Amino acid sequence: MLVVCLISVFETSLFPASSFFEARFNPAYLSCSRREIILGGEQRFNSADFRTYSIWSQIKYCSIAIASFGNNLYKENRLDIGYGFPVFKWIGAGIDLGILNCWVKDYYSKYTYTARFGMCLQAKKPEIDFWFNNISFSKFSDIDYLPFSYSVRFCYPINNYLAFRLATRGIQKEIPFFDFGFIVSPCRMTQIDFSINTEPLLLEYGLIIGLGKLTICYAGSNHRQLGLTHSISLIFVPH
């Protein structure tokens, strides 16, 4: 099982787990001042050995997040602090600094730091954002390091009930891949998401249900070889 875990090393730090978590991953969205607390849990590929537990909170323009991924043999623990600020009218920017701990039982426990920068344009039509991740080129060793990743995302609302989105993403000098789909809002308190990720080829889907101060968010994906991944978040917005 340890070998399987090491194949996924640092994967949790490269891209958001779902399109629903894009605003949490891109620190530019901290430029919209608000108060929010999010408790999350994810289980990858229907395996208890690939679980992530997290807590994310924002107060005004600042955020703090704690996450733990892995099992009794391998773990990734992460602490992030972010700050966002308005640049001009609908344009926001932000930066996120993190400390990542990589732990392997009876072998080592090492630390490094990460940095992420993002910007967003939140006009009514369209919404455009981008981020650059692991810009610190941090390393645990000469072999184990955090690869640079990036994303440019475009979201266009077709009407009040339907929006189209497309993201181009990549890792360092590798060939970029795409994530595209639709967001359906049948009513004010409900949002449904369908999308396809091209590398690896994944069918992604999600559902958000608002219940006053509490919002329930489910996101899932289906990998052709590895199976299903499920993620549930509880979002609390105090007034």
| Tens digit of each residue's pLDDT (9 = 90 or more) over 194-218 | 999 888 788 899 999 999 889 999 9
More confident residue, 138 or 73: 73
CA distance linking residue 223 with residue 17, whole number of Å: 13
Q: What is the pLDDT of residue 4?
A: 38
Q: What is the pLDDT of residue 124?
A: 66
Cis peptide before 238 (omega within 30 of 0): no
The backbone region for 143, taken as left when phi is positive above 0, alpha when psi lies in -120 to 50, beta otherwise, is alpha
Are the C-beta atoms of residues 119 and 132 closer than 8 Å to each other?
no
Sorted by where each starts, the structural domains of the chain and their CATH numbers stand as: 2-236 (2.40.160.40)
> What is the maximum span of the chain, computed from C-alpha positions, in angstroms?
56
Q: What is the pLDDT of residue 12?
A: 61
CA distance linking residue 38 with residue 46, whole number of Å: 23
CA distance linking residue 78 with residue 100, whole number of Å: 5
Q: What is the pLDDT of residue 3?
A: 37
| Tens digit of each residue's pLDDT (9 = 90 or more) over 117-165 | 999 997 767 899 999 999 987 777 777 778 899 999 999 998 889 999 9
The verdict on pTM exceeding 0.85 is yes
